[in-house]
Amino acid sequence: MNIQEQFAQFVLSTYARTPLVITRGKGSRVWDAEGRCYLDFVQGIATNTIGHCHPRWVQAVSAQAATLVHTCNLYYTANQGMLAQRLVEKAGPGKIFFCNSGAEANEGLIKLARLHGQKLAGGSEGQRHKVVCAQNAFHGRTFGGMSATPQEKVQHGFRPMLDGFAFGEFNKLSSFEKLVDDSTAAVLIEPIQGESGITPATAEFMQGLRKLCTERGVLLLADEIQCGYGRTGRFFACEGYGVKPDAIAMAKGIAGGFPMGAFWVAEPYADLFQPGSHGTTFGGTPLACAAALAVLDVMEEERLVENAAKMGSVLSDGLKDLVAKYPDKLDGVRGIGLHLALVSSKYNLKLIDALRANGLIAVPGGNGAVRLLPALNVSEDEVHQALDIIGKTLSSAKLA
Ligand SMILES: *Cc1c(COP(=O)(O)O)cnc(C)c1O
């Protein structure tokens, strides 16, 4: 039985998988079972922040694995305290909760919204619990995440959703102004919508949401699971908008490919959580935190937030040239920093297959996106190689 047959027989078929078996990775490259090499501009969907198997990361994870892996959160471990402190130094005064995935981080934000709403309602449970999210958002596959994700392909088959979610039009402040009322506890927003194809919020929208939330006493919750962690050329995407949210969900990039999620809660709200009000067995293990600390060390030493901004503009300039050259095949470029999509509303899926045949892997996204999400330590050479492959593919491939 080959690997694909084994999956067909034994793994739940919840994914439309690409016919590619990846066997190893190094930096911005991966190899398949036949030994073919690919430039990896997927990186586990914006997850391998410092590329595959960075020596510092491998060293830190190996050493920690040989020392202490898991204790559960009944005890103190040094790595979790250290990582929390370093994240608070980036996000601002407040506190961190560690979990294991993005969906779990968003569950935490939704629970924070409930606690906040209850406090606003003088302790009465359930009166003020509405969370206003955006159309085309993606917040994960748990019931909280799905309920915040108004997409048929996510919710179909699983209704009823959780009560108390409403959806405004992304980048249309007036639509949020109508929905934020006396029953609202929070607004939950991706500063750049990722799964739906890398659509950045406008500055007016993000700043307007901040003002609206402050005026009406509701929390502004940022889902930075995909767009955060240095990818936009700022540590948090919200920084680029000059906006300070009340809480931030992180996951994908935080531990460089090791499963981890986290959320930061700003100081005045951090104490809404009390002993017993939230928990997880695995969150913030010494091993996961060692991986995350290695990511932060490498990001700082190799100045990767800056590199994301620089390489992002090289990549995006190159893509814009290709859009000008192939107007019949391409519609544009969206995104900020290294959170980018080449847009081809007619051919994005075919283009991704053709790119793979030529040695570059990319991720599809909504609204015609070919998402390009390289590691933040991608080199200028590698960006040019990717652009060459995209150019060559567009000049030769019959996409229609
Ligand atoms: C990936 C993603 C999630 C879900 O994260 P998981 O780790 O898959 O649970 C939530 N929100 C956004 C914006 C994401 O990109």
Residue 398 confidence (pLDDT) above 90:
no
Among residues 239, 246, 284, 281, the alpha carbon closest in space to that of 262 is found at: 284
Segment 130-148 shows an average pLDDT of 98
Segment 90-109 shows an average pLDDT of 98
Contact 311, 378 (CB under 8 A): yes
Residue pointed to by tokens 């080959």: 2
Q: Where residue 400 falls among pLDDT bands split at 50, 70, 90?
A: low
Ligand 1, atom 8, lies closest to the CA of 102
Q: Where residue 399 falls among pLDDT bands split at 50, 70, 90?
A: confident
Ligand 1 center–CA 194 separation, angstroms: 9
Segment 322-328 shows an average pLDDT of 97
Contact 168, 220 (CB under 8 A): no
Segment 252-273 shows an average pLDDT of 98
Ligand 1 center–CA 250 separation, angstroms: 9
Residue 49 confidence (pLDDT) above 70:
yes
Mind listing the pLDDT tens digit for each residue in 288-308?
999 999 999 999 999 999 999
In this structure, what token pair is assigned to residue 149?
A: 């994700």
Mind listing the pLDDT tens digit for each residue in 334-356?
999 999 999 999 999 999 999 99
Q: What is the pLDDT of residue 331?
A: 98
Residue 78 confidence (pLDDT) above 90:
yes
Residue 96 confidence (pLDDT) above 70:
yes
Residue 278 confidence (pLDDT) above 70:
yes
Q: What is the pLDDT of residue 388?
A: 98
Pocket flag, ligand 1, residue 190 (CB < 6 Å): yes
Q: Determine which one of 97, 165, 223, 263 is catalytic.
A: 223
Residue 97 confidence (pLDDT) above 70:
yes
pTM above 0.95, yes or no: yes
Domains of the chain: 3-54+303-396 (3.90.1150.10), 57-301 (3.40.640.10)
80 vs 93: CA distance, rounded Å: 17
Q: What is the pLDDT of residue 131?
A: 98
Q: Determine which one of 252, 258, 329, 331 is catalytic.
A: 252
Instruction: Pick left, alpha or beta for residue 249 (phi over 0 → left; psi -120 to 50 → alpha; otherwise beta).
Output: beta
70 vs 281: CA distance, rounded Å: 9
223 annotated active-site = yes
Nearest atom (ligand 1) to Cα of 259: 7
State percent of the chain over pLDDT 90: 98
In this structure, what token pair is assigned to residue 143?
A: 């019931």
